[in-house]
Structure 1
Amino acid sequence: MEMRKVLCSVIEELMHKDESIVFMDADLAEANGTMPLRTIFPERAFDVGISEQNMAGMAAGMSAYGMKPYICTFTSFASRRICDQIAISMAYAKQNVKIIATDAGIAAETNGGTHMSFEDIGVLRSIPGITIIDVADEFQLREVLYKTVDYKGVVYIRITRKEIPKVYDENYKFNLLKADVLKEGKDITIFSTGLMTSFALEAASLLKDEGIDVEVISVPTIKPIDRDTIVNSLKKTKKAVTIENHNVIGGLYSAIAEVSCREFPSYIRALGVQDHFGEVGTMNFLREKYNMTVQDIVNECKKMLSLN
């Protein structure tokens, strides 16, 4: 199922249960699949127009009066465009706001570089008190929305809009403070997040055919990050590759490397966007452009295993 359909369905369910929830779009309800909410909840779901900073300020104000606001727009507009409002009106003011950021990274595809956020995690991770979650599939999205509805503080939920390969199933349970060990292994660890997680599993399967035992760890919550699971895996494999739909500066790689440097120094290499702006293209084209394919993951793991 498309991620935007899951988003609308779960938010509708939550709004039926809790009258304090309000939902705001910034002229992108059709694109993000949330237009039905306006018909069902005309007094609690609305469009603020192309004014994302105003939407962020409104959400902070509503939170101050005890409501549970969700704001939804493309990732580029949900991060860099409203960074000051997130930092001051939301985080500094200790408000409870959920930010649904869609079309993460290369998922923006033909919307091109202006709409392709490769820096959002890095920008927001440096703001105190923010929770950042990069969602891997529709089952994880459902769980993230259920488990964060009453979570205190600013929660940034990074998703794609369209259908992506499944990683989990209907029995999956999300723990905000824990990474998921999807496959145990002893030779090398692949840390993945969001869109890239299914490709990490594919790469591990190919490497298994070559006799390489890969541990695959999905890290949905980039902040606060699960240090224990990361360190336990590094102590076992001593080497790791990170893969993310984001600039390797400031995102998953940076977060993993910070943990490693402090607690268990290890060989770690980064796959993802190597400090570039985005461009127009299909997802497959962009994965090849930025060396984010399954074969790229396989090759990088082999390079790491050749290090002494």
Structure 2
Amino acid sequence: MRPYTITGKKDTRSGFGDAMTLLGETDPRVVALCADLTGSLKLNTFAKENPDRFFQAGIAEANMISVGAGLALGGKVPFVTTFAAFATGRVYDQIRQSVAYSCTNVKIAASHAGITLGEDGATHQIMEDIGLMKMLPNMVVINPCDYNQTKAATLAAAAYQGPVYLRFGRPTEPIYTPADEPFEIGRAVRWSEGKDVTILATGHLMWRAIQATEQLEREGIGVDLLNIHTIKPLDTEAILASVRKTGCVVTCEEHMINGGLGDSVSQLLTQNQPVPQEYVAVNDHFGESGTPEELLVKFHLDTPDVIAAVRRVMARKK
């Protein structure tokens, strides 16, 4: 297992907000737009320090996307921000036409993604957003795992020329990636080396995958664990090299089983290296109100579920 140190607990959205504060100081092209959720997106400091570069769009997400596209065409680097449920499903037509099809340099920063939004319930817990975004030509899809990686991913998105969907969440999570680790779009990060099973994890489920890997390694099971922070473009080289070594794979994501990381990996393996695969994901079900911890357990996204999936896929391999 790669050595790591837990340096605290923060929500990944705070990593986005702190990166935006830094970009406000270092990149005059960066502007931010928000759909009446400035505090939730951690943009208060950016707005205060850059009042001429912050635009409150109100509860008018479709208009916000269009304004962002216009700003991009004018040479700015706009981050359009709201909850993931509103940043994707509510404004898909505007994203498709004005951002993806036109290939404008718009960054869609989506907070409160997945089931761990918690008590706000099913209407706000979008688990289809990765699928919606990855199907769009020209769109990069990033789902970082902790505060530090979200901050680094935001800086990388600002430097990237083209549309980006950046997904992050509400709950506090352990901070375990190095603060100075470079973020490379489309390049997986290896966390452990093993020959028995591949685990591919993204977003909040990366921490559960790390915990599962530690337990499995204590049992003598060699885990090849990769942090797939970029869903599109997928690091196909790293994934194929891993599954050719292990012969089986478990994908872990806080997303619907259809359309997410597991779906992308399945397509890759079908065409190149068919092996047994198990999915830790939400299985065709809307969410419900509850604490993040309760919902991870209820929808089978917790550490024991990763371990159970590993045992199933290894039995299939045998």
- Taking structure 2 as the reference length, what is the TM-score of the superposition? 0.94
Contact 2:139–2:232 (CA under 8 A) maintained in structure 1:
yes
Q: Does 1:158 align with 2:167?
A: yes
CA displacement, residues 257-278 of structure 1 (integer Å, 9 cap, x when unaligned) = 1111111111111111001111
Aligned residues of 1:200 and 1:297 also touching (Cα < 8 A): yes
Give distance in 2, aligned partners of 1:126 and 1:10.
Answer: 27
Letter in 2 for 1:44: R
**Worse-superposed segment, 265-274 or 3-12:** 3-12
SS at match of 2:279: strand
Quick one: which of 143, 147, 150 aligns to 1:134? Answer: 143
Residue 144 of structure 1 aligns with which residue? Answer: 153
Measure the CA separation in 2 of the matches of 1:250 and 1:44.
35
1:69 is aligned to 78
- 2:190 aligned partner, one-letter code: V
Deviation at 1:141, TM superposition (A): 1.1
TM-fit CA distance, 1:93: 1.0
Tell me which amino acid in the other structure corresponds to 1:31. Answer: S
Counterpart code for 1:100: A
Q: Is the 8 A contact 1:186 1:215 kept in 2?
A: yes
Superposed, 1:295-306 pairs within 5 Å as: 295-306=304-315
Identify the range of structure 1 (37-46 vs 185-194) with the bigger mean alpha-carbon deviation.
Answer: 37-46
SS in 1 for 2:28: coil
The residue correspondences of 1:1-308 to structure 2 (distance < 5 A) are: 1-307=10-316, 308=318
Partners of 1:124 and 1:238 lie apart in 2 by 30
Report the 3-state secondary structure (helix = DSSP H, G, I; strand = E; otherwise coil) of the residue aligned with 1:88.
Answer: helix
Q: Distance in 2 between matches of 1:3 and 1:45?
A: 21
Following TM superposition, by how much is the alpha carbon of 1:177 offset from its aligned partner in structure 2, in angstroms? Answer: 2.0
Counterpart AA for 1:13: L
Q: What code does the residue aligned with 1:103 have?
A: H
- Return the offset for 1:145: 1.5
Give how far 1:46 is off. 2.3
Q: Which moved more, 1:123-132 or 1:28-37?
A: 28-37
Write out the 4+ residue segments of structure 1 that deviate beyond 4 Å after TM superposition: none
Match of 1:29, SS? coil
Distance in 2 between the 1:30 and 1:171 partners?
A: 26
Residue type of the alignment partner of 1:245? E
SS at match of 2:173: coil
Deviation, 1:112, is 0.7
Q: Deviations over 1:136-189 (max 9, x none)?
A: 001111211222212111100000134212341223221112111111110001
For structure 1, which segment, 141-150 or 250-259, has the greater mean C-alpha deviation from structure 2 after superposition?
141-150
* Structure 1: unaligned runs, 5 residues or longer: none
Distance 1:288 1:94 in 2: 39
Deviations 1:119-151 (A, max 9, x none): 000111111010000010011112112222121
Instruction: Give me the CA root mean square deviation.
Output: 1.1
Calculate percent identity across the aligned residue pairs: 33
SS of equivalent residue, structure 1 residue 146:
helix
- Equivalent residue letter for 1:26: A
Is residue 14–residue 147 contact of structure 2 (8 Å, CA) maintained in 1?
A: no
Q: Deviations over 1:7-44 (max 9, x none)?
A: 22221211222222110110011222212222211111
Distance in 2 separating the partners of 1:22 and 1:129:
21
